[in-house]
């Protein structure tokens, strides 16, 4: 039986939620550590959500809305390593996918850090196909962009 998470939408003024989202993001994406201010800015333009189990953050998600009606939305689900394999990523992903579709996204994309093979398997297992690999300036680990087929 899959455990059910409690989801909280991150608001630009909710410092606890911002910090919890930041904690999960930075633990999973150590090559692109974000400050609290950077997360606050992201919360102003994206839908950020934190997933909690027994009051502790276990995952987070990002939904980047489509820039226009004809462009893709990006849905990213992140789960801390100690909590993977329990269905939490699926819950985060389904919630993010529903948000993206409600925003009118005709296409769904995601992004995974190459050093996260579990995340890549998760995306590929849900029908995403790789479209690009790139390294951000100053980084050494590639990001992988994928699109839902």
How is 5-66 classified by DSSP, letter by letter?
Answer: PEEEE--TT-HHHHHHHHHHHHHH-GGG---HHHHHHHHHHSEEEEEEETTEEEEEEEEE--
Q: What is the pLDDT of residue 1?
A: 56
Residue ranges of the chain with pLDDT lower than 70? 1-2
Tell me if 30 is assigned to some domain: yes
The predicted-structure confidence for 17-37, as pLDDT tens digits, reads as follows 999 999 999 999 998 899 999
Question: For the chain, how many structural domains are there in total?
Answer: 1
Q: d(Cα 44, Cα 130) in Å, to the nearest integer?
A: 28
Whether 1 is covered by a domain: the verdict is no
Q: Looking at the domain assignment, is residue 87 inside a domain?
A: yes
Residue 25 in domain: yes
Task: Please give the pLDDT value at position 5.
Answer: 82
Edge-to-edge strands, sheet with 47-53:
6-9, 47-53, 56-64, 73-79, 108-113, 143-148, 128-134
Mean pLDDT of the chain: 92
Q: Under a CB-based contact definition with an 8 Å cutoff, are residues 103 and 73 in contact?
A: yes
Look up the domain containing 73 and give its range: 6-148
Q: Residue with structure tokens 């997933």?
A: 51
Type and span of the H or E element at 89? helix 88-102
Q: What is the pTM of this model?
A: 0.91
CATH (domain of 98): 3.40.630.30
């Amino acid at each position: 039986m899959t455990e059910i998470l409690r989801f909280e939408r991150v608001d630009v003024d909710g410092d606890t939620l911002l910090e919890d989202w930041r904690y999960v993001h930075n633990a999973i994406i150590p090559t692109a550590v974000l400050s609290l201010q950077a997360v606050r800015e992201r919360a102003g333009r994206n839908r950020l959500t934190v997933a909690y189990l027994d009051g502790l953050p276990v995952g987070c998600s990002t939904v980047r809305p489509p820039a226009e009606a004809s462009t893709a939305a990006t849905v990213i689900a992140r789960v801390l390593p100690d909590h993977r394999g329990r269905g939490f990523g699926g819950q985060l992903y389904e919630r993010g996918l529903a948000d993206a579709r409600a925003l009118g996204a005709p296409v769904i994309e995601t992004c995974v850090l190459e050093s996260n093979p579990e995340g890549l398997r998760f995306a590929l297992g849900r029908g995403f196909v790789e479209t690009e690999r790139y390294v951000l300036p100053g980084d050494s680990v590639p990001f992988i962009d994928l699109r839902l087929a």
